[in-house]
Amino acid sequence: MSRFAAVIFDLDGVITDTARYHYLAWKRLAESQGVHFDEAFNEHLKGIDRMGSLELILASATRRYSDAEKLALATEKNEHYKELIATMTPSDLLPGAVAALDDCRAAGLKIGLASVSRNAFTVLDRLGITGKFDYVVDAGTIAKGKPDPEIFLKAARELRVTPDACFGVEDAVAGVSSIKAAGMYAVGVGDPQVLAAADIVIPDLTQFRLEQYK
């Protein structure tokens, strides 16, 4: 593990599954605008920030929206989402998540979080794991969402580690692209065929093994 000094995790789909809450919130909003929304549509939103996701949904609407209307809709979705995540507890941590974080700490790695969710701090607090991270990127300070590398580069900069000394952990295609564009080693979590651009793919964090990442 001498090559790496830090690890940067994504949140949704890696450490916890807030995807179902996002799905329910986006589905209600989309259907309120006459747009059909199902699991297949939802897959296209993985790793995309809120306004980017809204743009994809409204592209299927029958009318155009002003910037003010888009902002109102994004706010409406977020308020519903916040109501849903307020029910989260540590039991919502995905299998292997805490062990993976603890293994990284034991190995002396700095630990960052790079989530495009503007509710990441709330989710971490609900899960009881805020203190396990050395730095959490505030998505509100990021100009470009994934697959742009900005969020991972900011995490590395704040952790005071060069990008080539970091590896990222992601479950989305856009996230893996973001990691690679930042010049980092990418650990994908999910389907190897979907996350083909990752350097290595594991099914979930129960299979997280530091010695395999080189």
**Positions marked catalytic:** 10, 12
SS3 179: helix
Judge whether 84 is annotated as a binding position: no
Residue 12 annotated in ligand binding = yes
CA distance 15 to 178: 18
Residue 119 annotated as binding?
yes
The response to whether 78 counts as a known ligand-binding position is no
Tokens standing for 115?
A: 């989530």
- 146 annotated among ligand-binding-site residues: yes
Tell me whether residue 116 is annotated as binding. Answer: yes
Distance CA 168, CA 176 (A): 8
154 appears as a binding residue in the annotation: no
47 is in an annotated binding site: yes
* Spatial distance between the Cα atoms of 152 and 175, rounded to a whole number of angstroms: 9
Q: Is position 178 annotated in a ligand binding site?
A: no
Q: Is 53 annotated as a binding residue?
A: yes
Backbone φ and ψ for 52, nearest 5 degrees, come out as -65, -40
Is 10 within any annotated ligand binding site? yes
Do 153 and 182 touch, CB atoms closer than 8 A? yes
Quick one: angle between helices 150-159 and 173-181, nearest 10? 50
Nearest to 111 by CA among 93, 129, 96, 128: 129
| 48 among annotated binding-site residues | yes
User: Is 170 part of any known ligand binding site?
Assistant: yes
CA distance 108 to 118: 28
* DSSP track, 4-23: -SEEEE--BTTTB--HHHHH
Helix (H, G, I), strand (E, B) or coil at 6: strand
Instruction: Find out whether the peptide bond into 147 is cis, omega within 30 degrees of 0.
Output: yes
Binding-site entries for substrate:
10-12, 26, 45-50, 53, 77, 115-119, 146
Binding-site entries for Mg(2+):
10, 12, 170-171
Binding-site entries:
10-12, 26, 45-50, 53, 77, 115-119, 146, 170-171
